[in-house]
Structures are given as C-alpha cells and as structure tokens.
Amino acid sequence: MRHTRSRLLIAAVSSVAALLVLAPAAPGQGYRTEIPRMPDGTPDISGVWQALNNAHWNVEPQVADYPVVLELGAQFAIPPGQGVVEGGEIPYLPEARAQRDANFAGRLGNDPEAKCYRGGVPRSTYMPYPFQIFQNADNVYVIYQFAAAIRNIHVGGTREAPIDTWMGWSNGNWEGDTFVVDVTGVNGVTWLDRAGNFTSNQARIQERYTLIGPNHMQYEATITDPTIYSRPWTMRMPLYRRVEDDFQFLEFKCVAFSEEILYGHLRRSPED
C-alpha cells in the first residue's frame, strides 16, 4: 500500500510538472547585476540553464577521435575535451574499469541516450540541451529538454526513495547560499557520458548548486559508489543562464527517433 501511494504521488507530481515544460522562461531572465533571492533570503536559482562543455561526450579528458560510424565523417567526429572530473580520472575499481571499456566499445547500440532513456543524475545536467528550474520554499522542480525528464527535489528533511528510477530520488537543503541535493534510488542503468562511464544502483550522488553571479552557477556532483569506485569523486562545471528575450523552452520528444534501434530487429522480413 505504501509503495502504491508513493507511485501515485510520483505520477501526480510528474503530471503537474509536465505542464510546466510548455511554459515560457520566467520573465526577467535577461542580464542582471546582482544575485536574485527568494523572499526568505535564499538564492533564487529558478530560470533556464545550460552547460557549455564537452562533458556529454566524456567527463574525463579526451582527444579528438573518429566518429563511431566512419561514413559520418567530421560531422559526428568526437571533439576534444578537458574533462570535468576533479583530478582528471575517475577512480574505478579494476572490474568496473573493464566494464567501462566494454561500454565504450559497444556504445553505438548500448548508450541509453541512443534509446531515448532519461539521462539520469548528473548526466542530464550537462547534456547539450537547456533545462529549467522552478523554485518555491518546499520544492524545486527541474525539467530537462531531453526525453522530458523531470525531477521533484524535496526541500527540507529527508524522504526515502520508494523505488529506483532513472532520475533517482532527490532531497535538498540550503547550506548558506549553496543548494545541496542528495540523490539516492537510482536504477544503475544510466551512463555518465557517451564514453561509457557509469554508476550502479548503489550510487549516492550529492549535487551542489551555487550562484556565482546573476547569470552563472557553479555545479558540483560528488559520486560515492564503493561497488564501482575506490573512493568518492567529484565533477565540477559552470552553468550559464539563457538570457535571450525570446527564448522558449521547447520539448525534445526523442522516442520516435529511437524506435529503429530498439525494435528494428522485430521487423518481419518479406520472406516471413
């Protein structure tokens, strides 16, 4: 009964939040001169944000490389990137590193992004698409353009994850001017990037959102997972506010584009 009620609550929250996807960016999202704040004094992190880096290709440093399908040429070649991992390298355990390498080798068909699965945390933050934050005193909603992913971050207190999901279960609290989010209940299926870096369903992720200016925010994610890594590790990057006066948050419903990779093998041949 408890799980049933929890699922109904999640469904209700998702339905309400889904309506917000169609909403335009909140007014006054243009250039500002000071950090905006809520009535209670906490920083107002609402608005449309986007990462500007190559972490969605690889959170570790990488050199430019050929595309997975050579016929695509430079159009889909892998760009170089400095990485966002503190220290430059994820501290994998040996077996987990071998799994990462296997993921990379089979990335063309196995990357969850190719199948239009939700990006998970923290990957959804630095995919090359904007995401929108809605904030009030009790909840922070985050709506991502890719795959219509939605998060409801409960502010204050700690609530247990009723089930494991793609986006996990998020509890947030303010530490001074930093919004700290603890994420549990992840399903262990998501990847961290297109290079095959990954977590398990035992991962615990702590995010930190800190406004460093009216239109810039520092983002950190520390991942703890003793089944995969030898120690906790952190990625860090700035996020940028979208300030165009005519900006619209558009949906990216990618399901239709993944049907061939998911179900193409089920198509009957003319001889059948």
What tokens does 48 get?
């449309």
DSSP 262: H
pLDDT above 70: residue 142: yes
What pLDDT, on the 0 to 100 scale, is given for residue 30? 52
Backbone dihedral region for residue 126 (phi beyond 0: left; psi -120 to 50: alpha; all else: beta): alpha
Taking residues 75-99, what's their average pLDDT?
97
What tokens does 54 get?
């190559």
Provide the mean pLDDT of the chain: 89
Per-residue model confidence as pLDDT tens digits over 154-182: 999 888 999 999 999 999 999 999 999 99
Q: Virtual CA dihedral for 46, 148, 113, 117, nearest 10 degrees? A: 130
What pLDDT, on the 0 to 100 scale, is given for residue 2? 41
**What is the third-level CATH fold of 2-26+37-61+88-266?**
Lipocalin (2.40.128)
pLDDT above 70: residue 212: yes
What pLDDT band is residue 264 in, cutting at 50, 70 and 90? Answer: confident
Per-residue model confidence as pLDDT tens digits over 100-132: 999 999 998 899 999 999 999 999 999 999 999
What tokens does 108 get?
């063309």
Please give the residue that has the higher pLDDT: either 223 or 252. 223
How far apart are the C-alpha atoms of 176 and 14, rounded to whole Å? 29
How far apart are the C-alpha atoms of 96 and 192, rounded to whole Å? 14
What tokens does 207 get?
């995010």
Q: Half-sphere exposure (CA, 13 Å, Cβ side) for 114?
A: 15
pLDDT above 70: residue 272: no
Taking residues 215-232, what's their average pLDDT?
98
Element (H, E) at 240: strand 233-241
User: Which is it for strands 150-155 and 169-175: parallel, antiparallel or unpaired?
Assistant: parallel
What pLDDT, on the 0 to 100 scale, is given for residue 32? 57
How far apart are the C-alpha atoms of 255 and 269, rounded to whole Å? 24
How far apart are the C-alpha atoms of 93 and 233, rounded to whole Å? 13
What pLDDT, on the 0 to 100 scale, is given for residue 31? 53
What tokens does 240 get?
């940028």
Q: Virtual CA dihedral for 196, 182, 40, 209, nearest 10 degrees? A: -30
pLDDT above 50: residue 187: yes
pLDDT above 50: residue 223: yes
Taking residues 19-23, what's their average pLDDT?
44
